[in-house]
Amino acid sequence: MTHRSGPEHGLLVLARELAALRARTGLSLDALARRTTASRSSWHRYLNGTLLPPRALVQELCALADEPPGRLLALWDLAAEPGGPPPPPPPPSEPGPRPSRPVRDRARPRLRRPVLTTVLAGGLALAAVLAAVSLPRDSASDSRPEPLRPGCTGAECTGRSSQPQACAIAGSGTRTVAERRPERGPSMDIRYSPFCEASWARIWFGRVGDRVEISAPGQGTRWTEIKDRFDAEGYLSTPMVGGGPGGLKACLILGDTAERHCLTS
């Protein structure tokens, strides 16, 4: 029987948990790539367990799924420990002469005791993390992760997405400061996060081609557009502008008629 090493098994467990979070968001790989800092092809490798994602990307997905990141980051730490799976090989290039290695390198003795200690430590860490993953949410609630800090504040949030920066997490005080909800057609609102001291606009019930934008004094205009049916199925948010909740302006531009509907806060 073949036994997987601790770090390699940790990578597969991490991939399984990331895939479950992605399923919770309901996002396709294309939509996930647009809402995070990783490409579609990279997400495919991360979710299949063939490549370890960046630690910050795990936090981005947790924010999208409204999941406290502590449990997933513990899995990431296990998968990334020394002796874990090697990084993917570089793209093939033209063959060249292979450098020779001194004989003394190939004959260098291996230290048994440190290797055994590392393997045992990795196995114990894996067992502890797997036990935490398998526990019911109520049983694991006693060990709460440290609260998130905002990824940006004020003007430094301008142009960034609210979710990866943890600006819209539950309990952060995010609120709607203006909204438009017609009986038919797309709705929109302006959201303000005191946690990040920044604002953004959202659109829902829209169609492909509909666009929403937000502006603030001294912050310029930020916008987003519904590009496919996945964007149209839920909320779609603009990048943020620093400041608020007063002095903001958001406009919805219909894709088929170019008709504009604007809000101010």
Confirm whether 149 is domain-assigned: no
**pLDDT 10s per residue in the chain (265 long)?**
444 555 567 788 888 999 988 888 878 888 888 888 888 889 988 998 888 999 889 988 888 887 888 888 888 888 887 654 444 444 444 444 444 444 444 444 444 444 444 445 555 555 555 555 555 555 444 555 555 678 899 999 999 988 788 888 777 789 999 999 998 889 999 999 999 999 999 998 899 999 999 999 888 899 999 998 878 877 889 999 998 899 999 999 999 999 999 999 8
- Picking from 74, 105, 136, the residue at the C-terminal end of a domain is 136
Same domain (yes/no): 165, 192: yes
Confirm whether 223 is domain-assigned: yes
Same domain (yes/no): 59, 159: no
Same domain (yes/no): 63, 164: no
Confirm whether 1 is domain-assigned: no
Same domain (yes/no): 173, 79: no
Same domain (yes/no): 128, 15: yes
Confirm whether 143 is domain-assigned: no
Confirm whether 247 is domain-assigned: yes
Same domain (yes/no): 238, 131: no
Confirm whether 102 is domain-assigned: no
Same domain (yes/no): 37, 122: yes
Same domain (yes/no): 131, 177: no
Angle CA 7–11–14, to nearest 5? 130
| pLDDT for residue 139 | 45
Same domain (yes/no): 37, 132: yes
Confirm whether 93 is domain-assigned: no
| pLDDT for residue 131 | 56
Q: Residue by residue, what is the 3-state secondary structure of the chain?
A: CCCCCHHHHHHHHHHHHHHHHHHHHCCCHHHHHHHCCCCHHHHHHHHCCCCCCCHHHHHHHHHHCCCCCHHHHHHHHHHCCCCCCCCCCCCCCCCCCCCCCCHHHHCCCCCHHHHHHHHHHHHHHHHHHHHHHHCCHHHHCCCCCCCCCCCCCHHHHCCCCCCCCCCCCCCCCCEEEEEECCCCCCEEEEEEECCCCEEEEEEECCCCCCEEEEEECCCEEEEEECCCHHHHHCCEECCCEECCCCCCEEEEECCCCCCEEEEEC
| pLDDT for residue 188 | 93
Max Cα–Cα distance, the chain, nearest Å: 79
| pLDDT for residue 134 | 54
Same domain (yes/no): 158, 130: no
Number of domains in the chain: 2
Same domain (yes/no): 125, 214: no
| pTM passes above 0.85 | no
Same domain (yes/no): 12, 122: yes
Enclosing domain of residue 42: 6-88+116-136
| pLDDT for residue 79 | 85
Whichever domain contains 53, its CATH number is 1.10.260.40
| pLDDT for residue 263 | 93
Confirm whether 72 is domain-assigned: yes
Task: List all residues 6 or more positions away from 240 whose beta carbon is below 8 Å from its beta carbon.
Answer: 157, 158, 159, 160, 161, 162, 165, 167, 196, 198, 199, 200, 222
